[in-house]
Structure 1
Amino acid sequence: MFRSLRTRNYRLFAAGQVVSNTGTWMQRVAQDWLVLELAKGSGGSALGITTGLQFLPLLLFGLWGGVVADRYPKRRVLMLTQVSMGVLALVLGLLAISGSAQVWHVYLLAFGLGLATVLDNPTRQSFVVEMVGKEDLPNAIALNSAIFNGARLVGPAVAGVLIAAIGTGPVFLVNAASFGAVLFGLYLMRPAELYAGPVVKRAKGQLREGLRYVRGRRDLVLVLVLVGFVATFGMNFQVTIALVARQVFHTGASSFGLASSMLAVGALTGALLAARRASRPRMRLLLLAPLAFGVFEVLSGLMPFYWAFLLMLVPTGIALMTFTTAANATMQLGVAPEMRGRVMGLYMFVFVGTNPIGAPVVGWMAETFGPRMSIVFGGLIAIVSTLAVAAFAAPRPLRDRVLHPRATLAERSA
Structure 2
Amino acid sequence: MNGLRGAELLGGKLPIKKLSNKLIENFPALKYKYFRYFLAGQCVSLMGTWIQRTAQQWVFYSITKSAFLLGILGVFQFTPMLLFSLFAGVFVDRFPKKKLLLITQFLQMLQAFVFAILILSGHIKYWHVLILAGIYGIVQTFDMPTRQSFFIELVGKEDLISAIGMNSTIVNIARILGPAISGIILLKLGPVFCFAINGFSFIAVMIGLMSIKSYQVNIRKQNCNIIKDIIDGLKYIKSQKVILTSVILMLIVGTFAFNNEVIIPVYVKEVLHKSAGVYSTLLTASGIGALIGSVKFASNKKRRSNVIFTSALILSMCLIIQGFIHTYYISILILTAYGFFNIIFMASVNSTIQINSSDEYRGRAVSVYSLVLVGTTPIGNLFAGTVGQYLGANMSFLSCGIITLVLMSIMFFYLKRV
- TM-score band w.r.t. shorter chain: over 0.9
Q: 1:162: Cα distance to partner?
A: 0.4
Contact 2:271 2:326 in 1 (8 A): no
In the alignment, the residues of structure 2 paired with residue 94 and residue 112 of structure 1 have an alpha-carbon distance, to the nearest angstrom, of 16
| Structure-2 residue corresponding to 1:36 | 61
| Structure-2 residue corresponding to 1:410 | none
Q: 1:190: Cα distance to partner?
A: 1.9
**3-state DSSP of counterpart to 1:62:** helix
**1:301 is the counterpart of 2:323:** yes
Contact 1:230 1:378 in 2 (8 A): no
**1:142 is the counterpart of 2:134:** no
Contact 2:92 2:146 in 1 (8 A): yes
In the alignment, the residues of structure 1 paired with residue 224 and residue 414 of structure 2 have an alpha-carbon distance, to the nearest angstrom, of 36
Q: 1:202: Cα distance to partner?
A: 2.5
In the alignment, the residues of structure 2 paired with residue 35 and residue 243 of structure 1 have an alpha-carbon distance, to the nearest angstrom, of 12
In the alignment, the residues of structure 1 paired with residue 56 and residue 326 of structure 2 have an alpha-carbon distance, to the nearest angstrom, of 28
Q: 1:199: Cα distance to partner?
A: 3.0
Give the counterpart of 1:254 among 267, 273, 277: 277
Q: 1:155: Cα distance to partner?
A: 0.3
Contact 1:73 1:199 in 2 (8 A): no
Give the counterpart of 1:333 among 345, 351, 355: 355
Q: What is the 5 A alignment of 1:70-219? A: 70-191=93-214, 194-204=215-225, 205-219=228-242
Are the structure 2 counterparts of residues 190 and 39 from structure 1 closer, same or farther at C-alpha, using a change threshold of 3 Å? same
In the alignment, the residues of structure 2 paired with residue 255 and residue 143 of structure 1 have an alpha-carbon distance, to the nearest angstrom, of 28
Residue 384 of structure 1 aligns with an amino acid whose one-letter code is V
Q: What is the 5 A alignment of 1:210-359? A: 210-278=233-301, 281-359=303-381
Sequence identity (%)? 34
Deviations 1:45-87 (A, max 9, x none): 1211111100010011111111100000000000000000000
In the alignment, the residues of structure 2 paired with residue 352 and residue 127 of structure 1 have an alpha-carbon distance, to the nearest angstrom, of 19
| Structure-1 residue corresponding to 2:28 | 3
Deviations 1:285-330 (A, max 9, x none): 1111101111112112222311111111111111111111100000
**3-state DSSP of counterpart to 2:107:** helix
Are the structure 2 counterparts of residues 282 and 213 from structure 1 closer, same or farther at C-alpha, using a change threshold of 3 Å? farther
Contact 1:200 1:338 in 2 (8 A): no
Contact 1:138 1:329 in 2 (8 A): yes
Contact 1:270 1:322 in 2 (8 A): yes
Deviations 1:344-383 (A, max 9, x none): 0111001100011110111000011110111111111221
**3-state DSSP of counterpart to 2:387:** helix
Q: 1:282: Cα distance to partner?
A: 3.9
Q: 1:198: Cα distance to partner?
A: 3.4
Q: 1:229: Cα distance to partner?
A: 1.2
Residue 405 of structure 2 aligns with an amino acid whose one-letter code is I
Q: Which moved more, 1:377-386 or 1:16-25?
A: 377-386
Residue 32 of structure 1 aligns with an amino acid whose one-letter code is Q
Contact 1:301 1:309 in 2 (8 A): no
Residue 218 of structure 2 aligns with an amino acid whose one-letter code is G
In the alignment, the residues of structure 2 paired with residue 325 and residue 203 of structure 1 have an alpha-carbon distance, to the nearest angstrom, of 33
Deviations 1:165-198 (A, max 9, x none): 121111100000000011000000122xx12223
